[in-house]
Amino acid sequence: MPYLILILAVAAETIGTTALQASQAFTRPLPSLLVVVAYAAAFYLLGHALKYFPVGVAYAIWSGLGIVLIAAIGFVVFGQKLDWPAMLGLAMILGGILVIHLFSQTAQH
């Protein structure tokens, strides 16, 4: 259950950031409202995840997965290109998340 809460927080943050891009600097009302609602949900869920994870681990997973997902959404939805160094960096972020999940004694298993 702790990972589900954290994954939902990541999903909400990803939705909020995608809506932030779609809001065009808060000039479009519906995406702008979605930004506020999604980020509120993300922080609420992240706060609950902190009952189970140390803040550093929770934030590393939350922000790392968010970065990777937003980069993928930026590519697919908004046509934003990534060069090899960017993709390598994203792969390293995913590797770090896997190391935390698979080997860290501070992460919930």
Least Cα distance to 5 among 67, 52, 54 occurs for: 52
Query: What are 3-29's pLDDT values in tens digits?
Result: 999 999 999 999 999 999 999 999 999
Query: What are 48-76's pLDDT values in tens digits?
Result: 999 999 998 899 999 999 999 999 999 99
CA dist., res. 24 & res. 98, Å (int): 34
Q: Give the pTM.
A: 0.86
Query: What are 93-109's pLDDT values in tens digits?
Result: 999 988 988 888 876 65
CA dist., res. 100 & res. 109, Å (int): 10
As a whole number of Å, the CA-based R_g of the chain is 15
pLDDT reported for residue 16:
97
pLDDT reported for residue 26:
97
Please give the structure tokens belonging to residue 88: 């390598």
